[in-house]
Structure 1
Amino acid sequence: MTPGGGATCRHFHIGGECENCGNVVHIRRARRAKIAAQIERELPGLGDDERPRVLEERLREQAAIEVEDQVRRREQARAEKARHAEARTADQERAEREHAAAAAAETVRQALACEDCGQQQAGGLCEACGYQRRTEALIVEAGMVAATWSADLADQADIDAVAADVRASLAADIKRARRAFLDSAPPGELNADRIGAAAVLAFGALRMWRRRCRNSAAARWGAWD
C-alpha cells in the first residue's frame, strides 16, 4: 500500500518508494494541509475533537469530486476517440466511393469511340488521332509564325498564302517520312496490327515535324520546342 492508504504501487519491484508514489503522497499532504487551513478559517471555534472528523469529511468530499472529474474526463476521451474513429471510417468510405465512381467513369470513357476515326474502345480519342491533332495544331502554329516573318500582316490573303505554303511543305515531308516507314516495314507486319501501325505513322509525322522545327529559326527562338 502507498502511504495514506492508496492502492498497491505497480512499481513495487523497484524497492522503496517510486517517484510516482512520492508525487501522490506530496499531493495528498498538500491537499490535507490546504483543507485544514480552510477549516481553521471557516470554523475557528471548532474543538480539537471535531476538527479531525470535519477534516476527513472534507477530504472524502474532495476525493469524490476528483473521482467524478476523472470519470467525466475518461468519458469525454472515449467519446472523442469514438468521434475520431467515426470520422476516419466516414473518410475511408467516402474515398472508396470516390475511387469507385472514378473507376466507373474511366470505364465508361475507355468504352467511347474515337471522335475522329470512329475506332471503338478508344477512350474518345485513339492514339493515332491524338498524334494527328497535335501535328495539325503545330502546323497551324508554324504557318502563323512564318506569316509574321514574310507576309504582309495587313493582307489576309498574303497571310493565308504563306500558311498554305508552310502546310504544303510540311505535308510533303510527312508524306515522304510515311513512305520511308512503309517501305522499311517487313511484309505483312502493318496488316497484322493496323491500329498500331496508324499510331506509329502519326507519331512519326509529329516527330518529323519537331525535328524540322529544331533546325529552323523558329525553334532557335524556342517557339515550339
Structure 2
Amino acid sequence: MKAHMVLGWEIIASCVSAGVAILALFVSLRQGRMANRQSLFDRRLKIWIITEKLMQLYRINSELLKKDNEAQFATDLCFERLTNTTYLQEISAAISHVLESEHQLKLHLKLDEMKSLSMEATFVFKGQPKTTIAEFIDAYQALLFTIYRYQIILNTIQAAEKEALWSREERYREELYQAEERLTTAYEKLAGKRLIGKIRRQIRLDSTLVDYLNTFR
C-alpha cells in the first residue's frame, strides 16, 4: 500500500515538474519573441524617422536643382539645405571645404552609414516598403555625393580659369541631373499614402484603423 502511495506521489511530482518545465519553456519562448519583436520595432522606427526627415528636406528643397544648359553654381546651397537635419548636420560644411581631409572623411563616413542604413531597410522591412525605403536612402546619399563631386569640378574650373575644363563640367552636370531624377523617382514612390500606410503597419506593435485605411487608398 505504502509502495503504491509513494509511486503515486512520484508520478504526481514528475508531472508537476514536467508541467513547470513546459511552462518555463513557454514563458522563455514568449519573452524571446517579445524581445525580438521589440528589437525589430526599434530598428524599423529608427530607419523610418530618418527617412521621414530626409523626405521632408527633399520636398522643401527639390526645386533648388533646375535642369538647364547652364552651370549650377547654387549646388553648394542645395547641399547645405539637403543636410539641414541633425542626422546630416556634421557633413553640411563639407561642401564649403571640398577636398579638406577632415570634412571629406566625415562625408564619406556618413555616406557609408547611409548605404548601410539602406541595406538594413531591406532586412527589417517586408514587401514593397523594404525596396522603396532602401532606394530612397541610397538615392539621397548618391545625390549628396554627386553634388560634392560637382562642386569640386566648379572649384577647379574657377581656380584654373581654363575654357577647356568646361566640357568636364557638362558631363558632371548631366550626372548631377541623373542623380536628382533618381531621387525624385524614389521620393514619389515612397510618398504615397498607401505605401506609408503599409510602412506604419509594419512599424507599429498595434496597427490603427487609419493605417489599414491608408493601405487601400
TM-score, normalised relative to structure 1: 0.35
- Pick 1 or 2: higher relative contact order, CA cutoff 8 A, min separation 6: 2
TM-score, normalised relative to structure 2: 0.36
